[in-house]
Amino acid sequence: MSEQQEGVKNHKKYRKDKPWDNDPTIDKWKIPEIQPGEMNGSLLAESSFATLFPKYREKYIQEVFGMVKKSMKDHGIRAELNLMEGSLTVKTTNKTWDPWAIMKARDIIKLLARSVPVQQCLRLLEDGTFCDIIKIRSYTRNKEKFVKRRQRLIGPNGATLKALELLTDCYIMVQGSTVSVIGNWKNLKTVRKVVVDTMQNVHPIYSIKELMIKRELSKDENMQNENWDRFLPHFKKQNQKRKKVIKKKKEYTPFPPEQQPRKEDLLMASGEYFLNEKQRQQKKLEEKKKKQQLKKQQTMNQDGDQGDEQEYDQQQGEEQIQKSQPQDIEEIREQIQKSGKLKKVKLF
């Protein structure tokens, strides 16, 4: 034990300081860029990836395949399109100067098959741009709930999706049972969390509100090294109380329920069983006409009652007007004289 402890203590005994250990100008987290000609020789083995695409995507892929092929050729990747099988294939060649380019090409053909525009797909060839394909179908079994939550993620006229894109600087595409995202790896993590929360019945507006607050706080230099929990909203889950439906227990009876009559028994009871097909149809038409006549008569009676009420109201109104107006000229003259405003009134 003592030898092991001494070994642990003296593990830095013979270590010498390297020139890059304490150099402040060197960024240790920076991903080095690979340029053509840096790799000595070609790759030892050929790597290839293939993916199938749906029939409705065939025309678009056929139109843009020339652009895809040209972009991949610059990185030493060969792309192939097979319309008979409906597949896209990418392979490394002797001219491949970036070992990771084949992985980027694999992601490009995956996204092309999932209805992502070619301009967005080719962004993956840049350093620092990644993609994520989130499968959302497994979060709920009910299809109606799945469709409703997916629509909630998109928002009215795609407003929620657009807000997420602006806040995370990512391209987001919802297609079928997957969500394709293109952007920085940090932002991809944020988008995945929002998408998963939405499919687990958490409204995306809460996540958008949190992202907006974080964005404003990141602009302030004084808040860079502080805890932001006090500024972020804390939402509590609320379970709505539902009324319990009390089911009445049926009284126990040892006897089975009465046997219900068959369709044939009902037809025999009504006498339709012995009729022909034409006679049955004729009988149905007669019953239908009778129902229509009864309904028509009921509506006419209702309209008649309403008309009588209107006439009665009109007569009452006319009587009130006649009562309020003085009919004789002499009465009008007497009223004016009594008022004292006009002593002499000559009407004629």
Q: What single string gives the DSSP state of each residue in 208-224?
A: HHHHHHHHHHHH-GGGT
Owner of token pair 């741009």: 129
Name the range with the highest mean pLDDT among 30-34, 161-165, 233-237, 319-323.
161-165
In angstroms, the CA 46 to CA 140 distance is 41
Min mean pLDDT across 113-127, 131-145, 317-331 is at 317-331
The distance of Cα 107 from the centroid of its chain, to the nearest Å, equals: 24
In angstroms, the CA 160 to CA 153 distance is 6
Task: Please give the model's pTM, rounded to 2 decimal places.
Answer: 0.60
DSSP 182: E
Structure-model confidence comparison of residues 111 and 8, the more confident one: 111
Which pLDDT band holds residue 154 (cuts at 50, 70, 90)? very high
| Cα dihedral: 144, 149, 153, 157 (round 10) | 40
User: Is 3.30.1370.10 the CATH classification of the domain at 128-219?
Assistant: yes
In the three-class reduction of DSSP (H, G, I as helix; E, B as strand; rest coil), residue 156 is classed as: helix
What is the 3-state composition of the chain as percent helix, strand, coil, each rounded to the nearest 5? 50, 10, 40
Q: Please state which of the four CATH numbers 3.30.1370.10, 3.40.50.2300, 3.40.50.720, 3.40.1050.10 is assigned to the domain occupying 37-127.
A: 3.30.1370.10
Reported as a single tens digit per residue, the pLDDT across 267-322 is: 888 888 888 888 888 888 998 999 999 988 888 888 766 666 666 666 666 666 56
**What's the alpha-carbon Rg for the chain, to the nearest Å?**
42
Task: Give the burial string for 151-177 (b: 16+ CB within 10 Å, else e).
Answer: ebbbbeeeebbebbbebbebbbbbeee
Reported as a single tens digit per residue, the pLDDT across 29-56 is: 777 777 887 888 888 888 999 999 999 9
Strand partners, 22: none
Structure-model confidence comparison of residues 40 and 260, the more confident one: 260
Dihedral sign for Cα atoms in the order 268, 270, 271, 274:
negative
What tokens does 202 get?
């958490």
**φ, ψ for residue 175, nearest 5 deg:** -140, 115
